[in-house]
Amino acid sequence: MPMHEAIDGIVVRVRDMGNCDRYLSLLTAERGRIPLLAKGSHSMHSTQAAVSQMYTYGNYEYYRKGSMNILKGGSVIQPFYSLSADIDRLNLAAYLCDLTVELTDEGEEAGDMLRLLLNSLHAVSRELRPQELVKGAFELRAAVLSGYAPDLSGCAGCGRAESELFCLDVMNGALICRECRAQRNAAVGRPSSDEELREAEIVGLMTPAVLAAFRYCAVAPLERLLSFDLHDRADREQFSRLCELYLLSHIGHGFDSLQFYHNMRAPQASADKGNQHELFQQNTDHTGV
């Protein structure tokens, strides 16, 4: 007799095999990601079809057969239907799920990542918060949960906690004030041909409002993570870009789904492309912007 199990989780990846089989990756709190095989889930009459959809949070019943987990059935808890009402929502959700797959493992507890993903998808699907805030908060908090917490207490050079304009030293996860950065650059004598230095010098400029948002998102209780605001649109966009830069620099690669999200939002984003270079520079010094 195969052993039957049941667990709550959300479908974060779907891969169709042949005509009717579907491999699901389920994110659960207790056991991280679980691979599930849904046999015949495409057919109209499949009782599994409802729970075999991307972004569906539900209770999944399965049994083990050899090394496979075979989906037997289940019930939907939250389908996040409203995601599909808008292409930007759907693209952002796809990227958040890709990040989740990247940052979780099979068999390893993932309660906080699950909570983070569910709260974020809820906010995106209902348009409760601007997408830039949800995306940035998710990225930064996912970095913290994965062990890449930046030190946001103050300048790594002089220790001051507030400054008109901080730089985030992305690879070192540290803040540097304008004065300390100018001193450091002068001492180093840039531009340098040293490749190591180039690597270490990915920086993003941070207004006090953006820094406050970073500080909030790094430690806020997960259920209140999205209860912050950036009233200035430029701050929202800078927050989103900087969180993205921070997380992806630590992961070490980008995501097609993120590129797709940005490309589809192009009409709105193109107006801002110009200042992207002012906000982020690699090994250049525009700190006086």
| Burial (Cβ within 10 Å: 0-12, 13-18, ≥19) of residue 182 | middle
Sole residue written with tokens 């496979």 = 68
d(CA 232, CA 210): 10
State the sign of the Cα–Cα–Cα–Cα dihedral 95, 97, 103, 105: negative
State yes or no: residue 121 binds Zn ion (CB under 5 A).
no
Site string for Zn ion, 25-64 (x = CB under 5 A): ----------------------------------------
Using the rule CB under 5 A, give the single segment among 2-10, 112-120, 155-163, 216-224 that binds Zn ion.
155-163
- Virtual CA dihedral for 87, 89, 94, 95, nearest 10 degrees? 110
180 binds Zn ion (CB under 5 A): yes
* Residue 99 binding Zn ion, by CB under 5 A: no
Q: Is 155 in the site for Zn ion (CB under 5 A)?
A: yes
Q: Select from 29, 157, 185, 283 the one that contacts Zn ion (CB under 5 A).
A: 157
177 binds Zn ion (CB under 5 A): yes
Closer Cβ to Zn ion, 2 or 208, answer by number: 208
User: Exactly one of 6, 87, 128, 158 binds Zn ion (CB under 5 A); which one?
Assistant: 158
Q: Which helix (H) or strand (E) holds 60?
A: strand 57-65
Q: Is 174 near Zn ion (CB under 5 A)?
A: no
CA dist list (Å): 165 to 67, 180, 209, 231, 284 = 54, 11, 10, 18, 16
Residues that bind Zn ion (CB under 5 A): 155, 157-158, 177, 180
